[in-house]
Structures are given as structure tokens and as C-alpha cells.
Amino acid sequence: MTWWSYVRDKKFFLLFFVVVMFFIGVLLAVDPNSQLTLGNIIYLYVFMLLFLIAYLVLGYSFKRTYWNEMKELVDGEIEENILELLPKPRTREQAFFNELMRKKHLEEQRALTKLRDKQQEYHDFILYWVHEVKTPIVASKMLINNPDLNDPTTIYRGVEAELDSIDRLVMQALYYSRLDTFAKDYFIQEMALGPVVRECVKRHSKQFISKKNEAGFGGD
């Protein structure tokens, strides 16, 4: 903080001071009972001007250290905890500013931690998904290249089942990628559960047949 920037910050106080001194001078000049001479009024103005200058100098020296340290902190590269680098406050205003900086820093740290956790979760899911999707791909290659399988229908059904597994995994990845925009991408409404379950069973009927599983519906 420079001297002139400090004085500019005090412009309203200086304007108020000038207005007050002007009215005091007018009142002293027009008061018929006033025994002050012009020299006394000039001395009064000089004394008040010196008092004003002393007030500005002391106020500037009181705040300069804090704002200079803060400016160095802003201009430099922060590689440490910013809360440990904040200069010691000397006024309530500076203490309030430090508290605001502390709260903002903690909010940023929480947001950063949340983002890192989300990135780690996404990384773990991608690793899991890659390992899962490799299984049906390898199984399909084994079915196609197996010399003991000469029945095209068996190979076709096996590959089709593995493709269904890949499709399920792709849909799983798609749903996961849309978790952050779930409210925008999906419309939630109340509906009967029976038709949904039947459609799901129908879609995966080949897996039920291949594994000789049966699905029963109560009330049918």
C-alpha cells in the first residue's frame, strides 16, 4: 500500500474534515461575540491540519506492514498453506479479512478433496470396467478359435451372449458417466413394476435359457 492509495481510501473522511472546518471557520467569522482574531483562526487551522497529518501518518504506518505483506503474498507463488502465511492482523478489519480468507481456503480445500475423491472413484471404476469388459471379449475369441466347436449355431449363440454382456457393461458405463447430470438426463415417474420386470426378463431371456433359470411372477 502506497501513501497516495491510503489517502485516496480516506477521501470521504478528508472531505468531511474539510466541510467541518469550513463551517467552523464561518461560524467563528460571523459570530459577533467571538473574540478570536484572524491570526487565532489561522493558528487553529494550522493546528487542526497538523493533527490531520499526524492522524494520517500514524494510520498509514499502522496498516502499511499488513498490506505490504499481503501484497507480497498475492504477487508471489503460494506453495504452502496460505493460512500459515497470512500476516498478523492489527485491526478488527484485518482480522475480519483474515477470517474470510480462512473460511474461503477451507471451502476450497473441501471442494478439492471432493474432486480428488471423485477422480479416484472414477479411476477405480474405469479399471473395474476394463477388466470386466475384457472377459466377454476373450470368451468370444475363444469360442471363435476353438477347434473343438464345429457347430456355427453354438458359436453364434455363445458370441451373442458375450455381446449381450458387453452391451450391459457399456450401458453401465453410460449410466455412471451421467451420474452428475442425473436430474437432466432422466425423468423419474411412478409406474407399474410388473411390465418393467417382464421387459427385463425378456431382454435377458437367452441368459436365463443358457443357465436353465426360471423367472416366476406372483399373481400370474
CATH, residue 120: 1.10.287
pLDDT of residue 211: 65
Quick check: 192 pLDDT over 60?
Answer: yes
Domain-located, residue 215: no
What is the average pLDDT value for the chain, to the nearest integer?
A: 79
Please indicate, yes or no, whether residues 105 and 43 belong to a single structural domain of this protein.
Answer: no
Please indicate, yes or no, whether residues 10 and 49 belong to a single structural domain of this protein.
Answer: yes
**Domain limits at 162?**
92-180
Higher pLDDT among residues 149 and 105, named by residue = 105
Please indicate, yes or no, whether residues 21 and 53 belong to a single structural domain of this protein.
Answer: yes
Domain-located, residue 37: yes
Higher pLDDT among residues 126 and 9, named by residue = 126
> Could you identify the residue written with the cell 500500500?
1
- Residue 168 to residue 129: CA distance in whole angstroms: 11
Provide the H-helix boundaries in 10-91: 11-30, 38-75, 82-85
Higher pLDDT among residues 8 and 84, named by residue = 8
Please indicate, yes or no, whether residues 101 and 172 belong to a single structural domain of this protein.
Answer: yes
- Of 85-99, 121-135, 176-190, least confident by mean pLDDT is 176-190
pTM: 0.53
pLDDT of residue 139: 85
Listed residues 14, 45, 76: the one ending a domain: 76
Domain-located, residue 202: no
Counting residues of the chain whose pLDDT is more than 90, the rounded percentage is: 6
In total, how many domains does the chain have? Answer: 2
Please indicate, yes or no, whether residues 102 and 158 belong to a single structural domain of this protein.
Answer: yes
- Residue 158 to residue 93: CA distance in whole angstroms: 74
- What is the average pLDDT across 82-111? 80
For residue 206, what pLDDT band results from cuts at 50, 70 and 90? low
- What is the average pLDDT across 64-75? 75
- Residue 71 to residue 69: CA distance in whole angstroms: 5
Please indicate, yes or no, whether residues 53 and 119 belong to a single structural domain of this protein.
Answer: no
Please indicate, yes or no, whether residues 97 and 69 belong to a single structural domain of this protein.
Answer: no
Listed residues 27, 49, 76: the one ending a domain: 76
Domain-located, residue 109: yes
Please indicate, yes or no, whether residues 61 and 110 belong to a single structural domain of this protein.
Answer: no
Please indicate, yes or no, whether residues 72 and 110 belong to a single structural domain of this protein.
Answer: no
Quick check: 219 pLDDT over 60?
Answer: no
Domain-located, residue 17: yes
Domain-located, residue 189: no
Counting residues of the chain whose pLDDT is more than 70, the rounded percentage is: 81
- Residue 45 to residue 24: CA distance in whole angstroms: 10
pLDDT of residue 208: 65
Domain-located, residue 38: yes
Count of CB atoms situated within 10 Å of the CB of 102: 13
